[in-house]
Chain A
């Protein structure tokens, strides 16, 4: 069974969104993904990291942690922050819901993560932060 793992931690500033999705793309190259799979994973990771930066930290300083795990042909990414947390995760996952309408956010982040990955789990606690876990089987 092929196994690999990685962990990166970086400040939650918007220029690290590109860094995070590039790392995620490089991490899965060993699985020989299709162009579509690569694009889907980059987009889902970008959404999760952007969520941590905009909603978790909301302009305050803090680190975002991204962990990757590969087991055979299944990849798992976990993106976590120690920010404000999401008060109502169920509502946040509804398409077009945004907690930041003043920032012109589309409210499509979780919908995109759900669509592009096989599973999405969001754990959040007010004042403690949010952890997003996503898996995808690359066949």
Chain B
């Protein structure tokens, strides 16, 4: 996992590599929450382009970060998801709580348009 701060957008970009299961989820949650607190970012953007596998533990990670971002007045963006990951996201109704976009720029535009 890599974490970047996009200061202009008050957004923490979280690039996840490999398999997003329960085992990986625990560390991702802790790191993202710590960085949100440290940086003062309010949006979280998940770059899923390098995720090779995701099960419902990934949905739990996104739902949890949605709650954190909401409490900070921010949003969650998900971009770059493969077809497999997209199916799990669709099944879980994540689009109702997060912006699903093709790229981080598209996601930001949608977030900023709805401010």
**Contact segment of B16-24, B34-42, B70-78:** B16-24
CB-contacts of B48-104 with A (<8 A)? 53, 55-57, 59-61, 63-64, 84, 88, 91-92
Closest to B55 in A: A46
The answer to whether A15 and B56 touch across the interface, beta carbons within 8 angstroms, is no
Tell me the nearest residue of chain B to A42, going by C-beta. B53
Interface size, chain A (Cβ < 8 Å)? 24
Given contacts A46-B55, A112-B56, 8 further A-B contacts (CB under 8 A): A17-B22, A43-B84, A50-B21, A54-B22, A104-B25, A105-B56, A105-B60, A108-B92
**Are A50 and B64 within 8 A (Cβ)?**
no
B residues with a Cβ closer than 8 A to A are 19, 21-23, 25-26, 29, 53, 55-57, 59-61, 63-64, 84, 88, 91-92
Most buried by A among B19, B56, B64: B56
**Residues of chain A with a CB closer than 8 A to B59's CB:** 106, 108
Chain A residues positioned under 8 Å from B53 (CB to CB)? 21, 39, 42-43, 46
Contact between B88 and A18, CB atoms less than 8 A apart: no
* Beta-carbon contact of B23 and A18 below 8 Å: yes
SS class of chain B's interface: helix, strand, loop or mixed? helix
| Binary contact readout A100-119 vs B (1 if CB under 8 angstroms, 0 otherwise) | 00011111110110010000
- In the complex formed, the residue of B with least CB distance to A35 is B84
Chain A positions near chain B (C-beta within 8 angstroms): 14-15, 17-18, 21, 36, 39, 42-43, 46-47, 50, 53-54, 103-109, 111-112, 115
- Specify the chain B residue showing the minimal Cβ separation from A112: B56
Q: In the complex where A104-B29, A109-B56 touch, is A50 in contact with B22 (Cβ < 8 A)?
A: yes
A-B contact pairs, 24 of them (CB 8 A): A14-B21, A14-B23, A14-B26, A15-B23, A17-B23, A42-B53, A43-B55, A43-B88, A46-B55, A47-B56, A50-B56, A50-B57, A54-B22, A103-B60, A104-B60, A104-B63, A107-B56, A108-B59, A108-B88, A108-B91, A109-B56, A111-B91, A112-B56, A112-B88
Which residues of the other chain, A, contact B92 by a CB distance below 8 angstroms? 106, 108
- Chain A residues whose C-beta falls within 8 Å of the C-beta of B60 in the assembled complex: 103-106
By beta carbon, the residue of chain A nearest B57 is: A50
Interchain nearest-CB distance for B86 vs A (Å): 12
A106 near B63: Cβ-Cβ < 8 Å = yes
**A17 touches which of B21, B29, B88 (Cβ 8 Å):** B21
